[in-house]
């Protein structure tokens, strides 16, 4: 038994020594060769890439000259000085993109024809002072004879010698065929289907007019899919042409769809694509202004674009017909028709308040559209931040009058200042119980905002800003809009917890570029 164990041990030792002396060295040599080959290949690739780059750089200009390829000059930043002031298009304006920009000229209106009265074919000539005296005498004799004949006729008529002839008019008989044709014409005029077709045709014409001002904003974002591959995704939004500043076409769209985008494309009504960029934005109201260099738009495209006409949203009432253009159902280039179902609603937002109205338009969580009245004037935009409750499924719109001044500021490069205050109006009896005549209640102070840095807190009552009484949240909003260049606002407030000195004043400081 012991001898067998010894033999097995010796055999195992021989196998180990064989593996150690023969197999392991071979494996090491193979690994070493593989590493050497990989290293050589990597070094060769680096050298070839470096040499190729040098050859490409040296040969680029000669090759471009041979092929006739022009060198692309990078876009130069456009100084602000050459931008002209932008204003919103009103009902009396034509709204076409600036006449100073090359485009198809509009045909001049034809002069109106002045209707003329029909003249007698044989007008009686008035006697001229140069006529001979003899001719005038003959005329007088002729007139006397006519008068004598007229007197004789009158005498005969009185004596019954002359009978007066009364002309008899014959009414043409109406045949049965003519009666049937007349009834058919009347029935066609009163045909309800014909009236319906006329209404539908009118809506189509209205949409065709509005669509000249509506574009699609496509926001692209880069990412990685589940295979770890680089991909580019996009989301579409409605864009509304508001005007141009002589350098860029300015389009309003949703800030939530553009703020994280890597690049933007503007798709014009006829499908023409052009690159755009965010000019200015207001995240609070979910508004972004996208700028498109006018040099990148063809003359034909410019001639077919029109700045949308801004209406007066204060005139709309319950039951008014409206149209939504853009993406009312979540699809680009769609249209919806409905009516106003509720007005005179408020939505308190950061540093202000906006008027909203509800509609009978079908609700879609991804809807994004401009609202126009039956004259084609923009009276609002669909907004989801103004919804009271998403479960209500009511399409809510922000009235254009509430954001008109902010839009004008953004179009001209001025962002509204944002202290970071969410407030609401206070009833008069509540103010009186505090011993106040005016003020607004602070519901929230946004974290890391200028208002928080100044020391304002929830529960404070803002009374004045720079000595201007604040009677409502709208007063505060209008004051902030009127001074976009302010660096400091002295704010007087009331804090009930400070019993000894409830009235205090702080300075809300803004960081300006």
Strands 230-244 vs 273-282: parallel, antiparallel or unpaired: unpaired
Q: Give residue 142's pLDDT.
A: 61
- The answer on 407 and 317 residing in a single domain is yes
Q: Give residue 36's pLDDT.
A: 84
pLDDT above 90 as % of the chain: 42
Instruction: Please give the Cα distance from 159 to 165 (Å, whole number).
Output: 16
Q: How many domains does the chain have?
A: 4
Residue with more model confidence, 97 or 287: 287
Domain annotation covers residue 158: no
Q: Are 368 and 382 in contact (CB under 8 A)?
A: yes
- The answer on 328 and 399 residing in a single domain is yes
pLDDT above 70 as % of the chain: 71
Q: Are 395 and 361 in contact (CB under 8 A)?
A: yes
Domain annotation covers residue 448: yes
- The residue among 32, 50, 68 that closes a domain is 68
Residue with more model confidence, 272 or 104: 272
Q: What confidence tier does 165 reach under pLDDT thresholds 50, 70, 90?
A: very low
Residue 20 is classified by DSSP as I
Q: What's the whole-number mean pLDDT along residues 258-263?
A: 91
- The answer on 325 and 405 residing in a single domain is yes
- Whether the per-residue pLDDT at 128 is higher than 50: the answer is no
- The answer on 462 and 439 residing in a single domain is yes
Mean pLDDT lowest for which of 55-59, 111-115, 351-355? 111-115
- Residues 6 or more apart from 288 whose CB is under 8 A from it? 252, 253, 254, 255, 258, 259, 278, 280, 281, 282
**CATH code of 426's domain:** 2.30.42.10
- The answer on 225 and 282 residing in a single domain is yes
Burial 231-243 (b: 16+ CB within 10 A, else e): eeeebbbbbbbbb
Q: What confidence tier does 43 reach under pLDDT thresholds 50, 70, 90?
A: confident
Domain annotation covers residue 497: yes
- The residue among 9, 33, 68 that closes a domain is 68
Q: Give residue 372's pLDDT.
A: 95
Domain annotation covers residue 215: yes
- Whether the per-residue pLDDT at 200 is higher than 70: the answer is yes
Question: How far is the CA of 358 from the CAs of 252, 349, 370, 402, in angstroms?
Answer: 22, 17, 14, 15
Mean pLDDT lowest for which of 27-41, 122-136, 232-246? 122-136
- Whether the per-residue pLDDT at 387 is higher than 80: the answer is no
Using alpha carbons only, give the angle 457, 458, 459 rounded to the nearest 5 degrees: 110
User: Which tens digits make up the pLDDT trace of 273-301?
Assistant: 999 999 999 999 999 999 999 999 988 88
What number of other Cβ atoms are within 10 A of residue 458's Cβ? 12
Q: Are 321 and 339 in contact (CB under 8 A)?
A: yes
- The residue among 350, 381, 411 that closes a domain is 411
Instruction: Please give the Cα distance from 326 to 213 (Å, whole number).
Output: 10
- The answer on 396 and 323 residing in a single domain is yes
Tokens 């041979």 belong to: 66
- The answer on 218 and 292 residing in a single domain is yes
Choose the most confident range, by mean pLDDT, from 222-236, 379-393, 426-440: 426-440
Domain annotation covers residue 162: no
- The answer on 476 and 396 residing in a single domain is no
- The answer on 406 and 453 residing in a single domain is no
- The answer on 505 and 468 residing in a single domain is yes
Q: What confidence tier does 103 reach under pLDDT thresholds 50, 70, 90?
A: very low
Domain around 389:
313-411
Element (H, E) at 44: helix 24-67
- The answer on 330 and 243 residing in a single domain is no
Domain annotation covers residue 51: yes
Q: Give residue 178's pLDDT.
A: 63
- The answer on 468 and 428 residing in a single domain is yes
Domain annotation covers residue 499: yes
Q: Give residue 388's pLDDT.
A: 66
**CATH code of 256's domain:** 2.40.10.10
Q: Are 425 and 472 in contact (CB under 8 A)?
A: yes
Domain annotation covers residue 287: yes
């Amino acid at each position: 038994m012991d001898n067998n164990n010894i033999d097995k041990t010796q055999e195992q030792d021989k196998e180990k020594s064989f593996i150690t002396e023969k197999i392991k060295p071979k494996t090491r040599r193979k690994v070493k060769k593989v590493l050497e080959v990989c290293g050589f290949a990597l070094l060769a690739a680096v050298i070839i890439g470096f040499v190729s780059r040098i050859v490409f750089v040296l040969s680029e200009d000669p090759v471009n000259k041979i092929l006739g390829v022009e060198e692309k000059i990078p876009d130069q930043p456009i100084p602000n000085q050459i931008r002209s002031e932008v204003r919103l298009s009103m009902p009396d304006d034509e709204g076409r993109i600036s006449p100073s920009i090359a485009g198809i000229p509009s045909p001049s209106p034809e002069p109106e024809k002045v209707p003329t009265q029909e003249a007698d074919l044989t007008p009686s000539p008035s006697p001229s002072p140069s006529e001979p005296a003899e001719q005038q005498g003959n005329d007088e004799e002729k007139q006397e004879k006519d008068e004598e004949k007229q007197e004789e006729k009158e005498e005969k008529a009185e004596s019954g010698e002359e009978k007066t002839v009364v002309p008899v008019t014959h009414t043409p008989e109406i045949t049965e065929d003519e009666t049937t044709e007349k009834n058919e014409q009347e029935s066609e005029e009163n045909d309800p289907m014909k009236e319906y077709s006329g209404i539908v045709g009118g809506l189509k014409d209205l949409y065709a007019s509005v669509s000249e001002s509506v574009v699609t904003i496509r926001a692209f974002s880069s990412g990685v899919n589940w295979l770890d591959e680089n991909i580019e995704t996009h989301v579409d939004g409605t864009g509304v042409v508001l005007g141009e500043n002589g350098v860029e076409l300015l389009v309003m769209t949703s800030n939530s769809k553009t703020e994280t985008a890597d690049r933007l494309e503007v798709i014009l009504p006829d499908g023409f694509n052009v690159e755009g960029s965010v000019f200015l934005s207001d995240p609070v109201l979910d508004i972004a202004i996208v700028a498109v260099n006018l040099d990148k738009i063809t003359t034909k495209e410019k001639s077919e674009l029109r700045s949308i006409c801004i209406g007066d949203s204060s005139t709309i009432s319950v039951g008014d017909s409206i149209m939504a253009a853009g993406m009312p159902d979540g699809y680009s280039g769609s249209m919806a028709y409905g009516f106003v179902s509720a007005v005179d609603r408020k939505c308190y937002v950061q540093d202000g308040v906006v008027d909203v109205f509800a509609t009978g338009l079908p609700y879609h969580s991804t809807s994004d559209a401009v609202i126009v009245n039956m004259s084609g004037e923009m009276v609002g935009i669909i907004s989801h931040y103004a919804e009271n409750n998403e479960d209500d499924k009511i399409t809510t719109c922000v009235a254009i009058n509430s954001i008109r001044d902010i839009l004008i500021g953004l179009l001209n490069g001025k962002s509204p200042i944002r202290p970071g205050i969410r407030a609401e109006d206070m009833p008069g009896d509540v103010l009186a119980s505090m011993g106040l005549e005016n003020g607004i209640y602070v519901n929230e102070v946004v974290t890391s905002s200028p208002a928080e840095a100044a020391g304002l807190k929830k529960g404070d009552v803002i009374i004045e800003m720079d000595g201007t009484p604040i009677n409502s949240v709208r007063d505060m909003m209008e004051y902030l809009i009127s001074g976009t260049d302010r660096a400091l606002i002295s704010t007087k407030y009331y804090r009930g917890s400070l019993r000894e000195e409830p009235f205090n004043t702080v300075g809300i400081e803004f960081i300006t570029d």
